[in-house]
Amino acid sequence: MAGSSAYEFARASYRNGLLSRRQLARGAWANVQFRLRGSTDAATDELRERIAQAIEGVRVRDLQRLGPAVLAGVLPRIYPQMLHVAWEHQDAGREVYICTAAAHELAEVLARVLGFDGGIGARSEVRDGVYTGRPHGPFTYREGKAIAMRALAAERGIDLAASWAYSDSESDLPMLRAVGNPVAVNPDATLARIAREEGWETLRFERLGRRLVVAGSVVAAATLGGVGSLALGRRKPVPPPRRIPPRFPHRHRR
């Protein structure tokens, strides 16, 4: 997708009274710093703590009810070409999952709407239907995405060496390196360089609009990266879909 899913999540949270104007502004400034300075272990831990504090005391039901508002902002940002790639994976017998640092509940909602097999997102502890503000499982960002993927693969009997992963950000390098077929999609400068050096496939789609991209990537208030689509393959060998390597009409090897 173009931009960050977190922008829509933060905006919907603010409109529904789950975030204050001060929290929204603080998150926006933190996001700018986070993107300019890059991510470190300390910055990632700080990000996770800030997210946990934001949802502490919030009912799970109230977070789930943000789904329609979040989807209304996210769906227009999704590249239709990427949807066709994902669906072709499914038609070839592979399961397809969204892997994101956003809330697991919202990842599942988006996955259902797109016709995917499931979502992998950040899980938080819940008691009596309310978030406690404590994490439950790995934070699905950087190495945390790869950890969650491996857990799902073990549970579902999926061979990651025969799987594909797609992302636009260098922060998803652990996810990309966890599979046998990493693909960079509209990559940032660092990921583009690494993909070129390691001979990874690269997809480049036309942007959905300069204003849209700027709004999603610079003003994103919740400081999470964009959604990373993850195509997972079963152990049973299946031929690659028609538009997957070795040839792809709009793909260029970098």
Q: What is the pLDDT of residues 129-144, one digit of tens each?
A: 999 988 888 888 889 9
Mean pLDDT, residues 57-69 taken together: 87
Indicate the range of 30-34, 48-52, 163-167 predicted with least confidence: 30-34
Q: Is the pLDDT of residue 248 over 50?
A: no
Residue 231's pLDDT is 59
Encode 144-175: b = buried (16+ Cβ within 10 Å), e = exposed. Answer: bbbbbbeebbeeeebebebbbbbbbbbbbbbb
Residue among 136, 103, 133, 143 at smallest CA distance from 120: 103
What's the mean per-residue pLDDT of the chain?
A: 78
Q: Where are the alpha helices (DSSP H) in 118-201?
A: 143-156, 173-177, 189-198
39-57 tens-digit pLDDT: 555 666 666 777 777 788 8
Which range scores top for mean pLDDT: 28-32, 75-79, 205-209? 75-79
CATH topology of domain 5-253: Rossmann fold (3.40.50)
d(CA 227, CA 231): 13
Higher per-residue confidence, 232 vs 226:
232
Mean pLDDT, residues 88-93 taken together: 96
The answer to whether residues 117 and 46 touch, using CB atoms and an 8 Å cutoff, is no
Residue 185's pLDDT is 94
